[in-house]
Amino acid sequence: MPSTDTERDLKRVRVDTAFFLAADPRMPDFRHGLFLAPMVRIGTLPSRLLALEYGADLVWGPEIVDRAIMGTERQVNRTTGEIEFLKENKQIFSCHPVERPRLIFQVGSSSPENAAEAVRIVTAHDDVAGVDLNCGCPKPFSTLGGMGANLLSDPDLLCEILTHMRRAAPPHVSVTAKIRLLPTQEATRALVEQIVRTRTIRALTIHCRTKNMRPREPALLDRFSEIAAHVAMVAKETGQDIPVVCNGDCFSARDVGMIRERTGATSLMLARGPEANPSCFGRRVCAATEIAPKWLQYAVYFDNPFGNTKYCMTQLAFTTTGGAGDAEKVSPLPKRELVARRAALSQAKTHEEIAHALRLSWPAEGAEQLLAHVQTTIQQQTPA
Ligand SMILES: Cc1cc2nc3c(=O)[nH]c(=O)nc-3n(C[C@H](O)[C@H](O)[C@H](O)COP(=O)(O)O)c2cc1C
């Protein structure tokens, strides 16, 4: 948070690229860590707070399309502290001051002007530490508008969007991009080189799959180190320092050693692991039955949209998606009980019914203590 008038003024000043790239201690640290990946629907406030509790170093919000955040009204809940961006009473995005130093807002865009406007909206009150451009989503809702993975085949537009985002963001807010591999190493090297030469990004995430690969196909981790080395070379040549984050098939902290060895990456981003169980960031993966009560407590405290709570808790508690097997292995419940709870959960129409379906205590209280714990953890880890 800005503490002096000078800092407050600086936030509003648009300065040149050299200033943007100067080390700013308020910038998030992308160099070493385990990060919660952007996930549509899954990456809402309760998921992010749980990921932080269990050891995620940075958390990405779900992709929000530029036009969705444009025209929203920012509202602060004086009781819970939650910040909501609302349009026609519908929550488009929400966040909390506790996560602010670790929160990256991901935008979906195919328009430099709209991307810039989205960045201005989410950074106007210093609610996020960084903004990220989604250049990797292959789902039709993203690519149809020319966004997501379609940007990979229009690098000039991709780079123009990043330039507009950098100009729109205050100097202490990082700009990053998340891409997929292109079919060949040569094409991928050319793409990352063009991105690095824009002098706009603070870090680059590489999802080690190509646009046409399905999530169940093994990530092409062996292609990572050459691309990361190329980023490092071009960055050095242009006087920059750009960490490259590796994403794909890291399901828990237990996979980290193997993936680091295979890729040379110091930072890893996880998606399906924490989708099934956010405690995957920690040394000890808890049973999903230990996570579910906390998810519900946050959901009730923040009045999380019910459909989102139900969706996330269904993914979290009793399914294993894409091999996020740790959650299942440590589940203490017999299979028949799991099936019964899943069935009851699918019928639930209120937060209270979710509690009954999953045999959780009701009222679901305790979110304030959870929040205080996250705050203490972040404060202890943040250099003075
Ligand atoms: C439910 C879900 C939603 C996702 N939504 C996004 C998104 O909003 N933006 C994005 O860049 N990638 C999104 N992805 C892709 C992930 O961020 C990640 O790149 C991919 O799942 C590979 O990581 P993993 O092997 O750890 O799952 C999503 C993935 C999942 C499973």
Q: Which domains does the chain have, with CATH numbers?
A: 13-281 (3.20.20.70), 288-381 (no CATH)
Q: What is the token pair recorded at 78? A: 């004086």
Contact 210, 180 (CB under 8 A): yes
Question: Quick check: is 137 catalytic?
Answer: yes
Q: Dump pLDDT digits (tens) for 245-275.
A: 999 999 999 999 999 999 999 999 999 999 9
Q: Dump pLDDT digits (tens) for 301-319.
A: 999 999 999 999 999 755 4
Question: What spacing in Å lies between the alpha carbon of 89 and ligand 1's midpoint?
Answer: 27
Atom of ligand 1 nearest to the CA of 219: 25
Atom of ligand 1 nearest to the CA of 315: 1
Q: Is the pLDDT of residue 116 over 70?
A: yes
Give the mutation target among 34, 36, 39 for probing the ligand 1 site: most ligand atoms within 8 A of CB: 39
Atom of ligand 1 nearest to the CA of 250: 26
User: Which of these is catalytic: 137, 246, 280, 312?
Assistant: 137
Who lines ligand 1 at CB under 6 A? Answer: 37-40, 42, 62-63, 106, 134, 136-137, 178, 207, 215, 219, 247-250, 270-273, 275
Residues 6 or more apart from 121 whose CB is under 8 A from it?
69, 70, 72, 74, 85
Which one, of 68, 165, 59, lies nearest residue 120 by Cα?
A: 165
Span 39-60, mean pLDDT?
A: 97
CB atoms within 10 A of CB 346: 10
CA distance from start to end of the chain: 13
Q: What is the token pair recorded at 340? A: 């019964």
Can you tell me which residue has the tokens 């646009």? 211
Can you tell me which residue has the tokens 């789902």? 139
Residue 8 pLDDT class (50, 70, 90 cuts): very low
Question: What spacing in Å lies between the alpha carbon of 206 and ligand 1's midpoint?
Answer: 12
Residue 383 pLDDT class (50, 70, 90 cuts): low
CB atoms within 10 A of CB 352: 15
